[in-house]
Amino acid sequence: MVYPTGYGRFEDNTSIPCKRYTFDPAPYGGFKRDTLQVFSVKVTELTGGLQWPLNVYGMVALRDSLDHNRNVIFKCERDNCQTLTLKNPYLVLTGPVRAVVFGDPVILEVLLYVRGTTESDDIELSLLAAGLPKFCTRPENSLLIEESYRSRLSTLEFQLGHIVFSVEATISVKVISSPPDGFYGEFVAFTDGSLKCEVLLHSSGVKQLHLDGDEINLSRSVVSVESFGKLMVSVRVSDGCVTLTGTKEFKPLEKDTTTRVLNIPELCQLEITVAWSLFSYEGVCKGRC
């Protein structure tokens, strides 16, 4: 794989933030662009004597034409592995940090390892660099993309979405009121478009939701939304005795923010804010391009 010059080091993470043009105007007015949404990454088809459960660490990232740097969607250090099981073989995604544009081929980069008893016992689970080519002609509607990549010891299954004419949505959730002993829950985002897949924003399992002040620390916050569609943010929460759900709908904007209050009776009241942004056709060049 040839790395373009002028964009810093190969190991650099993207320096382009989310909400890039939420408040400041985009160059030339900004654009709605096709983007790549990541719904899930699954580890399957173990070989070479590997058995569940697996303690996995490493990185999965995407590189797009804005700056060709890593836009990390999964990262775990060796001393903080994720345990994958036969029942739950999905990586807990924490990105992208900004929407992934799909105007040119996107490069998928994977460096995943299985932790052993000592570091010398660690095993390479998947080492991968592969291109996701764009369609020759832009599709009229968003499309589901399912790609599998076989390595020596495993297969990675990616469920992706080609989102057309999209804007970037960055989601945040604040707690207005909650039970004295806290609560736990799951947060997902989806749209009313042709793709019915959900983006898992956060799941605390049966543990209390971790707050930064009054804001919930979502695992993921950035999604792509068709500009002509609607974004739904759905919440399922519980205090250990009762489990309730609620959903708020958002109409995409080209900039600015939208805030809705979600009241889940007898459990909590949440403030959901979506920051909207268009895209430019310019990235960040770190030298001569």
**pLDDT, position 289:** 38
The token pair that represents 191 in the structure block = 């749209």
CA distances (Å), origin 149, targets 143, 156, 159, 165, 218? 19, 5, 12, 28, 28
User: Residue 18 CB: number of other CB atoms within 10 A?
Assistant: 16
Per DSSP, 65 falls in state T
Mean pLDDT, all residues of the chain: 93
167 pLDDT band, cuts 50/70/90, is very high
The structure's pTM equals: 0.93
Sequence length of the chain is 289
Are 29-164 and 167-277 equal in CATH topology? yes
- Beta-bridged to residue 37, according to DSSP, are 161
Residue pLDDT, tens place only, 21-54: 999 988 888 999 999 999 999 999 999 999 999 9
**3-class DSSP state of 110:** strand
Structural contact between residues 236 and 262, judged by C-beta atoms closer than 8 angstroms: no
Instruction: Please tell me the predicted confidence (pLDDT) of residue 114.
Output: 98
Quote the DSSP letter at residue 81: P
DSSP 145: E
Chain centroid to CA 217: how far?
A: 14
The predicted pLDDT at position 284 comes to 57
DSSP of 182-215: --EEEEEEEESSS--PPEEEEE-TTSPPPEETTE
- What would the pLDDT profile of 115-124 be if each residue is shown by its tens digit? 999 999 999 9
Best CATH choice for the domain 167-277 from the list 3.40.50, 2.60.40, 1.10.287, 1.20.1050: 2.60.40
Q: How confident is the model at residue 136 (pLDDT cuts 50, 70, 90)?
A: low
Percent of the chain with pLDDT over 90: 80
What pLDDT score was predicted for residue 283? 63
The CATH number of domain 29-164 is 1.10.10: no
CA–CA gap between residue 209 and residue 265 (Å, rounded) = 18
Q: Give CA–CA dist 12/9, Å, rounded.
A: 5
Asked whether 6 and 68 are in contact (CB, 8 A), the reply is no
Give percent above pLDDT 70 in the chain: 94
**C-alpha 197 chain-centroid distance:** 13
Tell me the C-alpha to C-alpha distance, in Å, between residue 264 and each of 18, 191, 203, 211, 234. Answer: 29, 21, 17, 18, 11
* CB distance 246 to 234 below 8 Å: yes
Closest CA to 200 of 191, 187, 210: 187
pLDDT digits (tens, 9 = 90+) for 77-111: 999 999 999 999 999 999 999 999 998 899 999 99
pLDDT by residue (tens digit) across 265-286? 989 999 999 999 999 887 655 5
Whose structure tokens read 């890593």? 70
**Predicted local distance difference test score (pLDDT) of residue 288:** 39
Phi and psi dihedrals of 233, rounded to 5? Answer: -115, 120
201-247 per-position pLDDT tens digit: 999 987 888 888 899 999 999 999 999 999 999 999 999 899 999 99
Determine the pLDDT at residue 180.
84
Per-residue pLDDT, 285: 52
Peptide bond into 105 cis (omega under 30): no
For residues 109 and 60, the answer to whether their CB atoms sit within 8 Å is: yes
The terminus-to-terminus CA distance of the chain in angstroms comes to 18
pLDDT value of residue 80: 97
* Domain extent listing, the chain: 29-164, 167-277
